Every structure is written in structure tokens, then in C-alpha cells.
Amino acid sequence: MLKVVVIGSGNVAQHLIRVFKKSGEVDLVQAYARDPGQVRLLLPETSITTSPETIIEADVYIIAVSDGAISGVSSLLPFKDRLVVHTSGSAPMEEIDNRNRRGVFYPLQTFSKNKEIDFSNVPLCLESESEPDMRTLEQLAKTISGSVYRVNSGQRQSLHLAAVFVSNFTNHMYSIGNDICSESNLPFDILKPLIQETAVKINTLTPHEAQTGPAIRHDDKTIQRHLDMLHDTNKQTIYTLLTQSIQQENV
């Protein structure tokens, strides 16, 4: 069984600690964080350390901290030649201090507080400096997910960029939908089946095939009525730009 230390106490660290504990196929030997916070609710006090000197030996050290902190945290580790990975979609593998063997263990998913994740189908995107380390990461990844990919740095950054569009920006579309419902005294709930169906549809159709609405139909009358209804200049600009973009893509 692989011995793992999780470093960090944020959202991703907490989700990883939970899923490793649940898997029963990983020996989660320790969590390290300057301020363990919520992690105290997940692990016994004896498995948590707040000082780098007391980090114990493991097969894989997973740094799950914000991108800007990866370099600093990795340079605090008081050992060398061990496998140390980060979980970031956008930070280069080289952010990790080069005294250790470096890698990436990037779960391509959106993690929120208070929302459990089923890791079994979360794509885990792996990178390493050597084939043996890659095999270790694959072994670890397969204990929690059925969806494991070897992804180089450039591809990983592309995935992270794509994720911003399909997740962060999509959620912002939900947020605008919510605003529009509120203004008309309608419950946001009424939009939820449509939101789910829009997401489910691309499991069987390409996004290109799935596109519907006034933009792709070039229904100028409806487009103009919608623009008139949007009092907010920012929302008008978004509507116009995305309408044009849909039309350009489908020339």
C-alpha cells in the first residue's frame, strides 16, 4: 500500500484526505499544514503536523496549496530525492523545489466547500520526471479514480484553460440566469432542469450539434428584444459577444 502525505488544508487537500481515507487502498500517513483548520475534523491529531521537521517518510507527498505557495512550501521540505507532486492545473511542475523528484497529480474537477465529490470518475492528470515515478502516480491515482491520464505540462495548461470556460464561465451564466429570474420574481429552480439537460446533452451530442437558440437561428427579432430587456450594460455586452461568437462558429 502506498504511503501518502497530504500537504495543505484547503478545499483540494480536504477532498483528497477524504477520498484517500475512504478508498482503504492508500496509507494516508500524515497531513501537514501550517494551519490545519478543517483538516482537524478529518484526521486524528496524531496524523497532523504543523512543522515541516516532523514530516514522516512516504512514497508520495501531495502539495495541495494555492499556485503561489507551491514553490515556498516545497522548499520547506527537509528531505531530498522523494516524490513530491502538486495538484495545480496551471502551475508548471518545475515550481516544486528540485531537491526532490517532481510530479503533478491534477484532479480535473471543481471543488467547493460543503459539496462531496464522487472521485471515481474525476479525471486525474498525471505528469512526472521519470517512468517509475509515473507508475507510482498511476498506481495511486487508480485507487481513487477510474479515469487516469498522462498529460504533459502544455496539455494540462490547456485543460485548465478549457475548464475555466466549461466550468467557471458556465457557472457565471447560471449566475446571470439567477439574476434575471430574481428580477422577475421567478424561482431559480425553474431553470434547473434546463441546466441539467444542457449538460447531459453533450454526453451524446457534440456541443456543435447541441447548439440551439436565437443566435444560431439568426433570429434577429428575438435577439433585439432580449437586448432591450437587459438593462445592465455588462449583460448586454456579454449577450452580444456570445451571440456573435456562436454565429461565427456556425458560418
Judged by CB under 8 A, the chain residues 65 through 84 that form the site for its own copies are 66-68
Number of residues that bind its own copies (CB under 8 A): 96
- 103 torsion bin: left (phi>0), alpha (psi -120 to 50), beta (else): beta
The residue written with cell numbers 478545499 in the block is 11
Q: Binding marks (x or -) toward its own copies, 95..114, rule CB under 8 A?
A: -------------xxxxx-x
**Which residues, 189 to 218, sit near its own copies by CB under 8 A?**
190-217
Cell of 122: 474525476
Q: Footprint of its own copies on residues 40-59 (CB under 8 A)? A: none
Residue with Cβ nearer its own copies (37 or 68): 68
Query: What phi-psi label fits residue 24: left (phi over 0), alpha (psi between -120 and 50 degrees) or beta?
Result: left
Selected range binding its own copies among 2-10, 61-69, 93-101, 131-139, rule: CB under 8 A: 61-69
Q: Does 224 bind its own copies (CB under 8 A)?
A: no
Least distance in Å: CB of 8 to its own copies? 15
Q: Would you say 52 or 214 has its CB closer to its own copies?
A: 214
- Three-state DSSP at 28 gives strand
Q: Is 238 in the site for its own copies (CB under 8 A)?
A: yes
Give residues 156-175 in contact with its own copies (rule: CB under 8 A): 157-175
Closest to 161 (Cα-Cα) out of 90, 106, 65, 104: 90
C-alpha cell recorded at residue 73: 512550501
**Separation CA 198–CA 174 (nearest Å):** 12
**Residue from 115, 101, 96 nearest 11 by CA:** 115
Strand 101-107 to 124-128 pairing: antiparallel
Task: Identify residues 9-38 at the interface with its own copies (CB under 8 A).
Answer: none
Question: What string marks each residue from 113 to 142 as x (binds its own copies by CB under 8 A) or -?
Answer: -xx-x---xxx-x-----------------
